[in-house]
Amino acid sequence: MIHPIPPGTRDILPDEMRELRRLHLSLMEAFEAHGYGEVSTPTIELDDVLARGDGRSTGSAYRFFDERGELLSLRSDMTIPIARLIANRYANAEPPIRLCYISNLFRAVRPQRGQMREFVQAGVELIGAPAPQGTAEVIEVLAAALDAAGLDRAVIGLGDSDLFRQLLSELGVEGEARDSVLERLATHDLVGLEWVLGELDGVSPEGCRTLVALSQMRGGREVIEQAREIGGGAVERATTRLRETFDALEARGAAGRIQIDLGLLRDLGYYSGAILEVYDPALGHVLGGGGRYDELISRFGVDLPAAGFALYLERVHVALLEEERRRASENAGEGR
Amino acid sequence: MTQVAGALGPKADGPLKLAVPRGALFEGTLDLLDAAGIPTEELRSDSRSLVFAAGSITLVTMRPSDVPTYVEAGAAEVGITGKDVLLEQADRMVYELLDLGFGECRMVLAGRAGDSRLGEAERRLGTVRIATKYPRIAERHFEQSGRQAEVIEVKGSVELAPLVGLADGIVDLVASGRTLEENELEVREEIAACTARFVANRVAHKLRAAEVDELTAKLRAAPR
């Protein structure tokens, strides 16, 4: 007789668990080597507290009442619980504070390979270290984590989450129209983007072309200069931030995996400045992401700049398997 | 469009795979690929194979409704499919890069010609029964217009449903409108204009930027 489990959850058996545990250990070793201490927070939090971190409160799909009638949430990311933890436990500590975690999280996604409703994220949070050095440190740790995991082909996309928000303000696009443009930029719906821009009053064709062109600019360091030539205050500020971060990374010898991507936009409400995404050529899905969230912790009453990243552990595992298969077939090809 | 300088980072894994939709968009897709300088003779002459080499890229043929699935997973880096399919599968994360302009259709709400059933059901029962192959588009359309509908998913000829009383109306894709006419149905509301779209996998769009941009530019510039 089969006793069902909820969709999007699963049992993990020894063969897989052994590999996941190994991955766990190598990532944790990389985090610790950079001075990040592991923390654990409750799987359930008070819903009000999580909502404070993300005003749209879209995070948690699983909410329920406890015996006192308090509304509880299963956490859907670790950044907000850690922001709360900082306010509770480190408000008077000497920054920077370096924390890391490997935790189970919950989201109501469509279950598929590497994407379950209960999943594990491994990540770090660097609190109290501003851009560009703080951002560069986080990216350095991320690169080290990818090395430790064995994903030597993985790429880190680096963009700027303020670019389009500020650019749209400059173009006089506000409110609902702005959200509608940002949503299409985030999903890279270029057909919809051109349509929405066409419907807007008062945005010059040149402004529209700038938006569309910027969203497609990605590549090496040269992209920063190419974008800068487009001009305008928002572009100037974003490219300056990107250049400073890139310079700091080069000084650390950690720029090797970077792809500058001006079209990068993540939909989480708390990012400001640099944003990150991680890709591996062997996997069609994003391996993880992160960025700066300089405003987030102040929502909990402690004004500290912060940055971090999180990797989806199961997706890293899938990518590793694909990379192993690829290497095996390449070696077999060479042997012939 | 901005040309991205230099492929970054890791070497690409083999030629770019383009998902080609069989069915109503097939001819238009092949004509467009020809115009863009991508050879399609092999594909035209062989209706049984699924995978074809075409110059610097590989063409893989499939049902239009499978294209978002393959592209989201990265099994095909890029693809061509109808906007109707993308709207129905709006939760598939693919980048919509280009409106290709061909395969023009309209997604419509239709009811029996000269029949007040749709309006009557809405007025007297507060809800209408809608048969469709596009349940999510239908549900979203009624939800966004603040109305109630009971959406009935059917797989075959949708036109049958209102004729025999399964539904008060249908939500369907209409090209010329002839099928509607033949079944004594008429368009009541337009939901969306649909054409063929060029889509890309999120990761391929980043990691194979130069190739994806080059193909996008070719398709954009292809004479129609």
Question: Which residues of chain A are within 8 Å of residue B197 when distances are taken between CB atoms?
Answer: 191
CA distances from B123 to A70, B130, B145, B146 (A): 42, 15, 15, 14
- Return the H-helix or E-strand segment holding A71: strand A71-74
CA–CA distance, B173 with B150 (Å, rounded to integer) = 19
**Minimal Cα–Cα distance from A328 to chain B, Å?**
14
**Minimal Cα–Cα distance from B44 to chain A, Å?**
29
Q: Which residues of B touch A (CB under 8 A)?
A: 1-2, 4-6, 8-10, 12-13, 72-75, 91, 93, 95-99, 197, 201-207, 209-210, 213
Beta bridge partners of A64: A72
CB spacing of B205 vs A219 below 8 angstroms:
no
CB spacing of A326 vs B1 below 8 angstroms:
no
In chain A, whose CA is at the least distance from the CA of B89?
A: A110
User: What stretches of chain B adopt beta strand conformation (E)?
Assistant: 16-21, 51-54, 57-62, 78-82, 95-99, 105-112, 128-132, 149-153, 169-174, 185-194, 196-200
CB spacing of B204 vs A284 below 8 angstroms:
yes
**Minimal Cα–Cα distance from B109 to chain A, Å?**
22
- Strand A37-38 vs strand A97-106: parallel, antiparallel, or unpaired? parallel
- How crowded is residue A121: how many other Cβ atoms within 10 Å of its Cβ? 20
Q: Is the peptide bond before A111 cis (omega within 30 degrees of 0)?
A: no
Return the residue in A115, A184, A187, A190 with the most chain B beta carbons within 10 A, the one to mutate for interface testing: A190
**pLDDT tens, per residue, chain A with 336 residues:** 999 999 999 999 999 999 999 999 999 999 999 999 999 999 999 999 988 887 655 567 899 999 999 999 999 999 999 999 999 999 999 999 999 999 999 998 888 776 789 999 999 999 999 999 999 999 999 999 999 999 999 999 999 999 999 999 988 898 888 889 999 998 899 999 988 988 887 788 888 888 999 999 999 999 999 999 988 899 999 999 999 999 999 999 999 999 999 999 877 677 889 999 999 999 999 999 999 999 999 999 999 999 999 999 999 999 999 999 988 888 887 654
Q: What are phi and psi of A46, to 5 degrees?
A: -70, 135
Beta bridge partners of B95: B200
CA–CA distance, B168 with B147 (Å, rounded to integer) = 14
Which tokens is B125 given? 């029962």
Mean pLDDT across the stretch B23-33? 96
* The residue type at A213: A
Distance of CA B49 to the CA centre of its chain: 22
> Which candidate, B89, B83, B140, B25, places its Cα nearest to that of A190?
B83
At residue B6, the pLDDT reads 34
- How crowded is residue A109: how many other Cβ atoms within 10 Å of its Cβ? 13
CA–CA distance, A142 with A278 (Å, rounded to integer) = 9
Beta bridge partners of A194: none
The ipTM assigned to this model is: 0.87
CB spacing of B4 vs A219 below 8 angstroms:
yes
Question: Which residues of chain A are within 8 Å of residue B70 when distances are taken between CB atoms?
Answer: none
CA–CA distance, A217 with A299 (Å, rounded to integer) = 33
Question: Which residues of chain B are within 8 Å of residue A112 when distances are taken between CB atoms?
Answer: 73
**Minimal Cα–Cα distance from B221 to chain A, Å?**
16
The position carrying tokens 């996309």 is A157
CA–CA distance, B10 with A280 (Å, rounded to integer) = 9
CA distances from B168 to A275, B114, B134, B165, B186 (A): 49, 13, 16, 7, 12
